[in-house]
Structure 1
Amino acid sequence: MMKRKHFSRVDWQVTILLGIVLFLFSTSLYVISIKIYHGATLNTLTHRVNTIHNYIEHHLTADGFLEINTKEDMAKDSYQTLKKTLENVRELCDLQYLYTAKKAPNGSLVYVVDGLSENAEDFRYPGDLIEPEIQQELRNALNGEVILPDKILDTDWGNIFIAYYPLHDDNGNVVGALGIEIPADMEATAVKKLSRAAFLSSLFFCMITFVASLFIFRRISNPLYRDMANTDFMTKLKNRNSYETDKDNWIARKPLSTLTVAVIDLNNLKLANDCLGHDIGDNCIMNAAKILRKLENHNITAYRYGGDEFILLMENITDPEDIITKAKEDFQKTVSHLDVPLALAIGYAHFDPALDSTISDTQKRADENMYQDKLKIKASEQHADS
Structure 2
Amino acid sequence: MNECHRHVLARPQDHRGTRVGRRSRRDLVDRAAALFRRELSREADVVCSAPGRLNLVGEHTDYNDGLALAIALPHRAVVAAAARDDGRLTVTSVNLRGEVRRSGAFPISEIAVGGVPDWAVDACAVAGVLREHGMAAGADLVLAGDVPARAGLASDRAAGCAVALALLELAGATQLSGIVAELVRRAANEFGGVPAGVLDQTASLDCIRDHALFLDARSGTAEQIPFTLAGRGLSLVVIDVRTRGHVHHSSSRAARRVECARAAAVLGVPTLRDIGMGDLSDALRLLPAELHGVVRHVVTENDRVVMAGTVLRTGCVADLGPLLTTSHASLRDDHRVSGAALDLAAGCAVTAGAIGARLTGSGFDGSVLALVPSHLLQDLDDALTCAFAGRGLSRPRLFTVTPSDGARRDR
**TM-score with structure 2 length normalisation?**
0.21
- Higher RCO, Cα 8 Å, sep 6+: 2
**TM-score with structure 1 length normalisation?**
0.22
Which is greater in Rg? 1
